[in-house]
Structure 1
Amino acid sequence: MMRKQENRMKEVVQNMPISTEEMAVAAAGIQEELEAYIDPVKKEYLPRFFKTGKGQYGEGDKFLGVVVPNTRLVAKRHKDAPFGVMAALLRSEWHECRLCALLMLVERFRKSDEKSRKDIYDFYLSQTARINNWDLVDLSAPGIVGEYLKDKPREDLYRLAGSPLLWEQRIAVVSTYTLIKNNDFIDILRLSEGFVAQDACTSVHAPEVPRNAPPLHDLMQKAVGWMLRELGKRDKDLLVQFLEKYCTVMPRTMLRYAIEKFPDEERKGFMKR
């Protein structure tokens, strides 16, 4: 009974009307908590690591210099904040503020009932324009999109995969990590086929990937290869079947990531094809 009352109180707090000004003030308070963890060395290093220079994938992103474990500490303290506060954080120019909002969502999702999970899932997908670097995707998509879709239709994965936006494509692929861990391999195989087709312009084609799509971004090659590698940890024979069919047209980076755990001779054999 006490647990139900606590959950109900959290739901009331999350759904209380809150003005735009109040949301901004709350988000600013969370940013101040993050700023208490600033590491000057990280502040200088992170923009280079996340490729924020002109023409790079993270162009223009700004970093406070806070490491992920400390961002996670702040996120756990505020996981029950209203969506409006999280949206304000996601609009921030600071990378760590956006990450904090996403970790807040992951933490809340983990402890929510089905109705609340649907709300979190819908909110997350409404904010994909602000989930705009690989770490933001990788630290949130499996725990929200992947978890939510474990027992549901997967149309959203294919919609995201067909997006022209790099980060929506990555959300689609990395979300399958949760499915793979549950021995559900259908979607990563289908998505991988589509992305191979996108890059190779072969007759291999999945309808969710446009035929006139540009060559596959390096970060997507790595993401697909990574998920295929995770599949291979659980069913190597299935991965080998996929590679035997597509290794000659797969992007080399994707293939290299997929076979990273293979014995040396087997790995070299695939790379020579």
Structure 2
Amino acid sequence: MLAIQKDILKKRKPARAKTLQRFFKTGPGDYAEGDIFLGLTVPESRLIAKKYKDLPLKEVSVLVKSPHHEERLIGLLILVSQFSKSSEEVQEKIYKFYLKHTKYINNWDLVDSSAEYIVGAFLYNRDRKILQKLAKSKSLWERRIAMLSTFHFIKKGELKDTFKIAEILMKDRHDLIHKASGWMLREAGKRVSEKDLRQFLDRYAAQMPRTMLRYAIERLPKEDRLRYLSLKSN
């Protein structure tokens, strides 16, 4: 057992773990079926990640592949920290490692705390076609990675990829994708251009899943929200 794993186990809270397993839908047939929690708080996980921020990639791999949710989260937080301070060569190594381990990045909080900071950041000045491939993946989590990665671009004032991925995911059947897409569309309008968001909504509101639409229009005036919702045919 790694030293970091011993530190993680010292913080385990069985009662809280049970609550987390219900909250993160780990039961039979749920989106995170079989995920195991130890009960750490997010601040505790972040403190441990900070303490071990220089952990070698080989040991980070042990964490990312762990059956314990918090160990995977801490491994990803370490990767995010290392990516932000590394050379382009090391960043590419971390990016490739991340994409090779997507099957372990298998809950919404794991995606949301890492995708934009690694995948989005790496692709910012590079070809982004991989995002369209991820958006068409059979994996729920790869599809969410595609959407959340565009948050980095939004923060840089670029919306093209956010709208493109949202269009690809328009017919997705999973609520977690509807929420992620709507969230990114809302951020696009709030942070960069409400006009561009409205143009997207004018074209696609009637086709969008209701949850996606509701998230996307959350910051618009009430009369506009009602108008877009009235366009829904189902």
TM-score by length of 1: 0.82
Contact 2:21 2:36 in 1 (8 A): yes
Contact 2:14-2:39 at 8 Å conserved across structures? yes
In structure 1, the gaps of 5 or more residues are 1-24, 200-214
Q: Are 1:36 and 2:4 counterparts?
A: no
- State whether structure 2 residue 217 is matched by structure 1 residue 268: no
SS in 2 for 1:151: coil
Of residues 200, 221, 227 in structure 1, which corresponds to 2:184?
Answer: 227
In 2, distance between residues paired with 1:216 and 1:227?
17
- Please say if 1:179 is aligned against 2:137: no
In the TM superposition, residue 187 of structure 1 has moved relative to its aligned partner by: 0.5
Equivalent residue letter for 1:32: K
Deviation at 1:40, TM superposition (A): 4.3
Q: CA deviation at 1:41?
A: 4.2
> Is 1:134 paired with 2:108?
yes
TM-score (norm 2): 0.95
Match of 1:158 among 115, 120, 132: 132
- CA drift at 1:88: 1.1
Larger radius of gyration: 1
Identity %: 48
Question: What CA distance in whole angstroms lies between the structure 2 residues aligned with 1:180 and 1:216?
Answer: 25
Contact 2:83 2:94 survives alignment (8 Å): yes
For residue 118 of structure 1, give the secondary structure of its aligned residue in structure 2.
helix
Aligned to 2:173, the other structure's residue is in SS state coil
Q: Which moved more, 1:74-83 or 1:234-243?
A: 74-83
Q: 2:26 aligns with which of 41, 49, 52?
A: 52
Which position in structure 1 is the counterpart of 2:203? 245
Measured in 2, the distance between the counterparts of 1:102 and 1:75 equals 9
1:3 corresponding residue in structure 2: none
In the alignment of these two chains, the number of paired residues is 230
Q: Deviations over 1:9-59 (max 9, x none)?
A: xxxxxxxxxxxxxxxx32xx2122112223444222100110011111011
The equivalences for 1:78-89 within 5 A come to 78-89=52-63
CA–CA separation in structure 1 for the residues paired with 2:20 and 2:27? 12
Q: Deviations over 1:66-99 (max 9, x none)?
A: 0111111111122222222111112211100000
Q: CA separation in 1, counterparts of 2:73 and 2:156?
A: 26
1:90 — aligned with what? Answer: 64
More deviation, 174-183/263-272: 263-272
* RMSD between superposed Cα atoms in Å: 1.1
Moved over 6 A (4+): none
Which letter maps to 1:66? L
